[in-house]
Structure 1
Amino acid sequence: MAIGLICAIPEELAHLRELLLDMVPVRAAHTEFVSGTLDGFDVVLASSGMGKVNSALVATVLADRFGCSPIIFSGVAGGLDPDLAVGDVVIADRVIQHDAGLIENDRLQTYQAGHVPFINPVDRLGYHVDEDLLARVVDRLADFTLPALSEAAGGGNRSAAIRFGMVLSGDQYLHCESTRERLHRDLGGLAVEMEGGAVAQVADAFAVPWLVIRALSDLAGQDSRFDFLAFVDEVAAASVAILRRLLPVLQERRQRTADY
């Protein structure tokens, strides 16, 4: 069973594609799906494009047509936690679609995607990573250190940190200090991006384990667009380095049951 690998943008995809061997491309919908081997493991690699609909489409094809398990999203994100810096890596233990919910009195009440409190209420908010998979990931990375960031990325002798926690997904590129502070304060997000929540929703529907690995290319504030352009290539490489480290433990899995 192949591991499904998704990236959103070309800078993320390039790092993985150049490592792939025995490539066999197949076109489906708007995406090229490339079967091959990465460090000896069978994978199917695809670039989804940005946003939740694009990533949901690609995750569905990986699960249904290619039978991939697990499905991994590897790429970059904006940082929400002020203790994090460009180049740090956040691995989701839970994802929430922060832009889904009920708008009332000019405010959004974030709610489970696909549900409304007075139509089809649900106690669940977001999607949690499979506990067994997460435990293996934490153990595998316990003694793993990323190389120091370049001076150009503000690194020097500082190695990138690896954190586990909440990742938020929404169909907007965040370039706003006040929204960054609100999302961190109200939802506890460490990072914000545009795809992971949809990948998790699709994977959950197919009872397939999933993982979101995000290296911070910017801090989601007023300088985010400039930071992204300057740092995206280097920090995307950090996400790939972690993915390669995790490959041996991604398919060791117990029987999964849906978390409802």
Structure 2
Amino acid sequence: MTAARLLTMSASLSLIALSASAEEASRIAVMSAFPPEWVSLQQDLQGAETQKINGVEFITGELGGKDVVLFLSGVSMVNAAMTTQLALDHFKIDSIVFSGIAGGVDPSLNIGDVVVAQQWGQYLETVMGRETDEGFVIPGFLESPFQNYGMIFTRASTVASDRGDAETHFWFQSDPKLLEVAKDVAAEVKLAECNAENSCLSKPPQIRVGGNGVSGSSFVDNAGLREWIFDTFEAQVVDMESAGVAQVAWANQVPFIAFRSLSDLAGGGDGENEMGVFMSLASTNSAEVVKAFLAALPEE
């Protein structure tokens, strides 16, 4: 073999090694449920490259000075869990950041506010009880740690991971270090008060870091259910994805945090659900906070 050919082979191997190294770059997974946040996040993405995996579009690049991969979770718990695991299986993910909208269930919060919950639970992981003369009951071999809502009895989830034996949890925690960064960002970011059609909020929006969020595969527009969610789980927000992502993140031991902006009051407002009016504003606010959060993250 000639020296020239050896040099050529060596150069080719070096390129392959460099390519493999680039593919294995650590990234922050930035997820959105709906296109509005996705579009807003892409506007500031540098060096965007797109690939499809099992029909899901993933866009890699740099956002806020950090290497990221953007993708849509899809609406609902199953879609969110599926796309989260898909990303973890194909990219080297350091942490997971969710940007999305939600329904507000805490009466002290208003449309446009952004909530960064400390923990997330699946309130519709349930047993549907049997109606008896004494009310709704569940089988004696099952239990629920929460007050039921009619026939709905919420249960915890048993989840396997490399930690050892499967563990049973209702709450899945957001990462404490990421929450601290979110607190710093909350003091600096100014949220939008009006949408593109000049529909404006009645009160200036705020960012609240901490407290509880719950998720389930139902769109909530019911005042009674909203009140039960607030009273039973002391929740600030309800959505359809975050707890599913939090569970997958926990199982894979990857830090997680979710930013949820209130597009509606989950049935607590007067008249028609507000999401149709304020979805774009809430999406923009959530995405803007996430971009500021990414920029504020310390370099590894």
TM range (shorter): 0.7 to 0.9
Q: 1:219 aligns to what?
A: 265
Q: Deviations over 1:130-171 (max 9, x none)?
A: 22222232233234432444561324xx43111122111000
Does structure 1 conserve the Cα–Cα contact (< 8 Å) formed by 2:185 and 2:292? yes
Relative distance call for 1:191 and 1:252 in structure 2 (3 A) is: farther
Q: 2:187 aligns to what?
A: 142
Does structure 2 conserve the Cα–Cα contact (< 8 Å) formed by 1:21 and 1:36? yes
2:125 paired with 1:125 = no
Deviates most, 244-253 or 39-48: 244-253
Which structure's CA Rg is the greater one?
2
Identity in percent = 30
Relative distance call for 1:192 and 1:252 in structure 2 (3 A) is: farther
Q: 1:234 aligns to what?
A: 281
Q: 2:55 aligns to what?
A: 30
2:68 paired with 1:53 = no
Relative distance call for 1:28 and 1:162 in structure 2 (3 A) is: same
2:95 paired with 1:70 = yes
Which of 107, 112, 116 is the aligned partner of 2:156?
Answer: 112
Q: 1:102 aligns to what?
A: 127
> Which aligned pairs between 1:77-96 and structure 2 lie closer than 5 A?
77-96=102-121
- C-alpha distance in 2 between matches for 1:26 and 1:225: 39
Does structure 2 conserve the Cα–Cα contact (< 8 Å) formed by 1:147 and 1:160? yes
What SS does the aligned partner of 1:234 have? helix
TM-score of the aligned structures, taking structure 1 as reference length: 0.87
Q: 1:21 aligns to what?
A: 46
Tell me how many residue pairs correspond in the alignment.
Answer: 247
Q: 2:132 aligns to what?
A: none
Name the Cα RMSD after superposition.
Answer: 2.3
Unaligned runs of 5+ in 2: 1-25, 130-136, 138-149, 160-164
> Which aligned pairs between 1:156-235 and structure 2 lie closer than 5 A?
158-164=203-209, 165-221=211-267, 226-235=273-282
Q: Deviations over 1:102-124 (max 9, x none)?
A: 33325222222347xxxx99663
Alpha-carbon distance, 1:40 to partner: 2.5
Does structure 1 conserve the Cα–Cα contact (< 8 Å) formed by 2:266 and 2:273? no
- C-alpha distance in 1 between matches for 2:157 and 2:298: 28
- C-alpha distance in 2 between matches for 1:72 and 1:211: 5
Q: Deviations over 1:76-129 (max 9, x none)?
A: 0000011111101111100001100333325222222347xxxx9966321011
TM-score of the aligned structures, taking structure 2 as reference length: 0.76
- C-alpha distance in 2 between matches for 1:252 and 1:109: 44
- C-alpha distance in 2 between matches for 1:52 and 1:114: 16
